[in-house]
Structure 1
Amino acid sequence: MTLQQLSQVKRWMVMHSSRHPVEMAVWNGVLMLWMLGFMGVPGVLLIKAWTALPLCFGAWMLPMAYTGGRRRLHQQGRLRCDWLTAL
């Protein structure tokens, strides 16, 4: 995902937060883990904690995995996802 796509989803969440408070909380958690993964890489490299590097990479990929999973569930009709229009 690009930074613009992340921003568009966040903007949609803020605009519809009164109707979708849980979804906004989950998205904030996904963004928090993404940022921790992104910012954790320099720390992992500095202290040479190589076992934590895959966790950072996984957290860095989390927004793409989350939106992909939500898109797949929406297409299958198992979960309604209104914010997909923001992408």
Structure 2
Amino acid sequence: MATRADPNITKSDKVRQLLADGQDLDALRIAKDFRFLKDVKQVIQRGWSAHQNPSFTRQLGRDPDETLNAAIAALRTLYG
């Protein structure tokens, strides 16, 4: 039997729940597309990009792990 997602749960609520459950990458995947993040949007998008393509991040002179950790830290600051 298929169940439906609760229509009252927002994406922000989902990000909060995923962070609480320790599913940082899933939370980052959702939050990277949020338009209202302003100051941390670039950090979050770079973190997701570093996860998806670490070799490109290295070519840009950034450490992929540090970039990803900075994005997760920014998410936890906002939603944690």
Instruction: Give TM-score scaled by structure 1 length.
Output: 0.39
Higher relative helix content:
1
Higher Cα Rg: structure 1 or 2? 1
Instruction: Give TM-score scaled by structure 2 length.
Output: 0.41
